[in-house]
């Protein structure tokens, strides 16, 4: 925790205007009556290192980084957590008193905590997990599911080569399934995760056939605009427990806020309302 008189934090990305992180952290600052602020900072790729070296001199105690900076930030950092190394990207940076940058990735933590909070009784080891997508977010989800004890990850991505790369990296508990057969993964899956952008407002529809879904499966979507995606609606109609993606965003903010401002904040309905407002 910082002893700075007016600690600042923020989120660096490009574009960044749409980010909900300022609402999230400002809600917590207000709730816990803390001094400080959290701002969105548009930063272009080439400027990241200069900006990160300058921010501590301006009173910043840490920042979140988002697209397109997550991989580059990891390489700029002086110290990196094991989970950020495994994921290969950082989303939470803390500026240490000796001037060093400490990098973490809390996306997988946020994902797991969201399921624990909103799908009571959910256990990663209940059975195989079906993961759609092999982009940046999928890396964090796979690391988190394996770490939490998922016996197997069935992974399908439109571009198969990207899924194969993840299998090579994360080992034999990952099994790649052809995209045209992605629906077949559902027959075995106890946990189902959409990490693609399909179903997002303005993006293409999620068209994987869902008739194989098991009614005892827990289904979650990383997409949270809209909050209830067609995948979640269909899964819910089929009797599955469903969890929306907003909770992941809220929970991933907890470790950073605690490090920067010294209070472990709560994720609750008031926070959801504030972030959606």
Least CB distance from residue 1 to ligand NAP, whole Å? 25
Contact call for residue 174 and ligand NAP (CB under 6 A): no
Query: Taking the complex as a whole, how short is the minimal distance between the CB of residue 49 and ligand NAP, in angstroms?
Result: 22
Q: Cβ 221 to ligand NAP, closest distance in Å?
A: 8
Determine the angle formed by the axes of helices 107-118 and 136-148, rounding to 10 degrees.
60
Q: Which of 35, 180, 204, 276 binds ligand NAP (CB under 6 A)?
A: 204
Shorter beta-carbon distance to ligand NAP: residue 251 or 259: 251
Would you report the helix, strand and coil content of the chain in percent, each value rounded to 5? 40, 20, 40
Where helices occur in the chain by DSSP H, the ranges are 21-31, 48-54, 70-76, 82-87, 107-118, 136-148, 160-170, 230-237, 246-252, 254-261, 269-276
Longest Cα–Cα distance of the chain, Å, equals 57
Q: According to CB under 6 A, which one of 54, 159, 168, 181 is a site residue for ligand NAP?
A: 159
Q: What is the C-alpha to C-alpha distance for residues 4 and 176, in angstroms, rounded to an integer?
A: 48
- Piece of 8-16, 36-44, 118-126, 129-137 that binds ligand NAP (CB under 6 A): 129-137
Number of residues that bind ligand NAP (CB under 6 A): 24
Residue closer to ligand NAP (CB basis): 116 or 162: 162
The answer to whether the beta carbons of residues 114 and 220 sit under 8 Å apart is: yes
162 touches ligand NAP (CB under 6 A): yes
Stretch that binds ligand NAP, among 1-9, 33-41, 166-174, 219-227 (CB under 6 A): 219-227
Q: Answer yes or no whether residue 183 interacts with ligand NAP by CB under 6 A.
A: no
Asked if 70 is an active-site residue, the reply is yes
d(CA 42, CA 33): 27
Distance CA 93, CA 96 (A): 9
Which CB atom, from 77 or from 208, has the smaller least distance to ligand NAP? 208
Build a one-symbol-per-residue string for 223-262: x at contacts with ligand NAP by CB under 6 A, - elsewhere.
xx--------------------x--xx--x----------
- Is residue 181 at the binding interface for ligand NAP, with CB under 6 A as the rule? no
Residue 218: which H helix or E strand, with range? strand 218-221
Strand-strand pairing, 8-13 and 37-42 = parallel
Catalytic residue among 53, 70, 162, 273: 70
Collapsing DSSP states into helix, strand and coil, what is residue 152?
coil
For helices 269-276 and 21-31, give the axis angle rounded to 10 degrees. 130
Which part of the chain contacts ligand NAP (CB under 6 A), choosing from 74-82, 97-105, 116-124, 222-230? 222-230
Task: List interacting residues with ligand NAP (CB under 6 A).
Answer: 107, 133-138, 157-159, 162, 195-198, 200, 204, 222-224, 245, 248-249, 252
């Amino acid at each position: 925790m910082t002893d700075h008189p007016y600690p600042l934090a923020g989120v660096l990305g490009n574009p960044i205007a749409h980010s909900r992180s300022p609402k999230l952290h400002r809600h917590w600052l207000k709730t816990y009556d803390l001094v400080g602020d959290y701002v969105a900072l548009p930063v272009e790729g080439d400027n990241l290192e200069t900006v990160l070296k300058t921010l501590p001199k301006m009173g910043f105690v840490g920042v979140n980084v988002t697209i397109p900076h997550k991989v580059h930030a990891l390489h700029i950092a002086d110290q990196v957590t094991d989970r950020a190394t495994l994921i290969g990207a950082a989303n939470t940076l803390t500026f240490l008193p000796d001037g060093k940058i400490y990098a973490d990735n809390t996306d997988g933590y946020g994902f797991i905590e969201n399921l624990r909070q909103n799908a009571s009784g959910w256990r990663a080891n209940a059975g195989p997990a079906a993961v759609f997508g092999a982009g940046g977010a999928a890396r964090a989800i796979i690391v988190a599911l394996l770490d939490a004890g998922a016996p197997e990850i069935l992974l399908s991505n439109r571009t198969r080569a990207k899924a194969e790369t993840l299998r090579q990296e994360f080992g034999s508990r990952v099994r790649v399934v052809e995209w045209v057969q992605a629906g077949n993964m559902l027959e075995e899956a106890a946990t189902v995760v959409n990490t693609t952008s399909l179903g997002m407002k303005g993006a293409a529809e999620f068209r994987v056939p869902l008739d194989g879904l098991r009614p005892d499966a827990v289904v979650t979507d990383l997409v949270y605009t809209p909050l209830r995606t067609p995948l979640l609606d269909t899964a819910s109609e089929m009797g599955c427990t469903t969890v929306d993606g907003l909770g992941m965003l809220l929970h991933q903010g907890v470790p950073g806020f605690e490090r920067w401002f010294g209070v472990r904040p709560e994720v609750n309905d008031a926070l959801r309302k504030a972030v959606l407002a």
